[in-house]
Chains A and B, each alone.
Chain A
Amino acid sequence: MSMLHDFAVWLAHSPLNAAVTARGWIVPEVQIVHVVAIAAVVIAAALINLRALGVMDTGRTRQAVLAAWYPVMLGAVAVLALTGFLLIASEPGRALFRTVFWVKLGLILVALVVTGAQARAADGGPSRLLAVVSLLLWITVIWAGRWIAYAEGWPGAFS
């Protein structure tokens, strides 16, 4: 907690914070890039998992769809990590001190592993279960992200 506090104080006084708060339009525009990248993750997750469920693109194998779209998902998550870091830098006292933010980070890791695990799952039962879990996880990630704006911060948190 105190390390996190020190990090937030350092970030609040960093040139990065000065840069992203220099103009009022920067944070909204970074958020827009963040939302567009979320759309890329969602569409990749939808294509991979709906194929695994056998309801879409059945002309191609599950593995082919995964091979085409999992890299897109990883690339979009990289963009999300970068834009997300910029958003944290703009207001270090916000996300870092809310439980729902750390829940979100954990869910992203689990969702990436579950989606990627489709490559090794056999056709049918296991892959269908993974597909449903993966879709639910990504929706929960979006919920957690939006909820950072509504959740209470930890008591005594840096601001």
Chain B
Amino acid sequence: MLEDIADYLATTPLAMAMTDSTWLFGAVEVGHVVALTLVFGSIALVDLHLIGLVERGRESHALIRRLLPLTWGGFALAAITGSTLVFANPQGYFANGFFRAKIIALALAGINVVVFHRFVQPRSMAPGALAPRVSGAISLVLWLCIVSFGRWIGFTI
């Protein structure tokens, strides 16, 4: 099933363009790095704040609201550029352990965000409350994994 999808992706014009060009992969990669630094940077800032390490004494809701455009803008760019990179070698990425682990970590980070917005944020945001600190710590670990696995793909594919 996954192999079939990979085989199909490899026949698309985008796949041809990515493998034929000497500079296109690198250019998309630069976009991916810019995007991931925005996503990771803004999320890590919120996480460290939730854990209680930075921007102490500032209001969490306002901080999160202020950073959301950076996070989502960066995430959209990371998703577009990341998907484009896959077209350069779909079979290779789909079979790569770090790529698979990265996708799973992304899904877990998504679940963590939903849990935070639905259950944690509406209730226990008092300074020192445990739930936001746990949410922040889980998110930080997951995003460190996502960035690390992403870098490791380049060495193992």
Q: Are A57 and B37 in contact (CB under 8 A)?
A: no
Chain A residues in the interface with B (C-beta under 8 A): 28-29, 31-32, 35-36, 38-43, 46, 56-57, 139, 142-143, 146-147, 149-150
Compute how far the CA of A46 lies from the CA of B70 in the bound complex, rounded to whole angstroms.
Answer: 9
> Can you name the residue of chain A whose Cβ is closest to the Cβ of B147?
A35
Contacts of B155 in A (CB 8 A): 28
Decide yes or no: A39 and B26 within 8 Å by CB, A139-B34, A142-B34, A146-B33 being known contacts.
no
Question: Closest CB of chain A to B67's CB: distance in Å?
Answer: 9
Contacts of B42 in A (CB 8 A): 43, 46
Q: Are A28 and B33 in contact (CB under 8 A)?
A: no
Decide yes or no: A149 and B26 within 8 Å by CB, A28-B152, A32-B147, A56-B66 being known contacts.
yes
Q: Are A43 and B45 in contact (CB under 8 A)?
A: yes
Central interface residue in A29, A36, A40, A42, by most chain B CB within 10 Å: A42
Compute how far the CA of A42 lies from the CA of B148 in the bound complex, rounded to whole angstroms.
Answer: 18
Decide yes or no: A142 and B36 within 8 Å by CB, A39-B41, A40-B41, A43-B45 being known contacts.
no
Question: Closest CB of chain A to B56's CB: distance in Å?
Answer: 12
> Can you name the residue of chain A whose Cβ is closest to the Cβ of B154?
A28
Contacting A at CB under 8 A, from B28-71, are 29-30, 33-34, 36-38, 40-42, 44-45, 66, 70
Compute how far the CA of A57 lies from the CA of B33 in the bound complex, rounded to whole angstroms.
Answer: 25
Question: Closest CB of chain A to B62's CB: distance in Å?
Answer: 8
Additional 11 contacts, C-beta under 8 A, given A39-B40, A43-B38, A142-B30: A28-B151, A29-B148, A35-B151, A40-B41, A42-B41, A43-B41, A43-B70, A56-B66, A142-B34, A146-B33, A150-B22
